Amino acid sequence: MKILSIQSAVAFGHVGNSAAVFPLQRIGVEVLPVYTVNFSNHTGYGAWRGPLISPADVADVIAGIEDRGVFPEIDAVLSGYQGSEGIGDVIVDAVARVKAANPSAIYACDPVMGNAKSGCFVAPAIPVLLREKVVPAADLITPNQFELGFLTGTEPDSIESTLASVDAARAMGPRTVLVTSVERPDRDPETIEMLAVDDSGAWIVQTPLLPMKANGSGDVTAALFTAHYRATGDAADALARTVSSVFDLLEKTHLSGQRELQLVESQGAYAHPRLQFAVRQVR
């Protein structure tokens, strides 16, 4: 499997492609990483160095890959945080070119906009771009519950309302939706859930809620689910494998006391997920 991953990169720590590439490689995926920024560290530290890469330069790198005749071999295009409207246009154009070369390729979009605790933290134009242009071009999206509501103009909280919001998102274009960080009021407050929906049904899985925030965990989640789902077409299996790997990564990070994901130290969890959490069909 080959995945073209158009995301940010950092030298220190693990977000964007610096979070997604290694876990994908560890499960046997050939990754073609294209960087949208090349920063010293993620912006959560409040200070960083390095360049934003212009949309024209990102497009030039992608064109160079196309020149090598690789597009017919690409199985999926993956994107995450989009820092500017121009990058969104470049990604949508790349998806169209890849799909022209390989009609079986899929586009997986993590529509990063914010979260329930921090609110929306992207430029005001980005949610509009995602809603009107990027998400309709996607086959698979991986929003958190807050982003799902923001995309669809709904307020998902219960399983029923979250499923209704997913249906609204699927009506926009993508047939498969992975909702991360599902928090419904009637759950055990020390747990958190993840929900996957496609044409064949809907499945949810619950894990302990770890008392931590880990930048980059969503990037790992989107990458692993995309690869597993593209390989099998089985949403329940992809959900089980992804949740198992990401939970073990987060638990190891929490126990380490470090701020950054223990990405390399957790590599066994990607290659050999324990499948320790039950997946339940809800529709």
Interatomic CA distance for residues 122 and 113, integer angstroms: 6
Give the structural domain span for 107: 2-281
| Tokens 């969104």 found at | 88
Is 192's pLDDT higher than 70? yes
Angle at 176 between CA 109 and CA 216, to 5 degrees: 40
CATH at 61: 3.40.1190.20
Q: Which tops the pLDDT comparison, 115 or 33?
A: 33
> How do residues 111-134 score in pLDDT, each as one tens digit?
998 876 666 777 788 888 899 999
pLDDT confidence of residue 83 = 75
For residue 32, pLDDT over 90 is answered with: yes
Query: What local confidence, expressed as pLDDT, does residue 113 receive?
Result: 87
Lowest mean pLDDT among 10-14, 121-125, 149-153: 121-125
Average pLDDT over residues 194-212: 97
Global confidence as pTM: 0.97
Our separate counts of H helices and E strands in the chain read 10, 11
pLDDT of amino acid 117: 67
Q: For the beta carbon of residue 206, count every other beta carbon within 10 angstroms.
A: 17
Per-residue model confidence as pLDDT tens digits over 215-257: 999 999 999 999 999 999 999 999 999 999 999 999 999 999 9
Could you give the number of structural domains in the chain? 1
Q: Report pLDDT for 85.
A: 81
Rg of the chain over all Cα atoms, to the nearest angstrom: 17
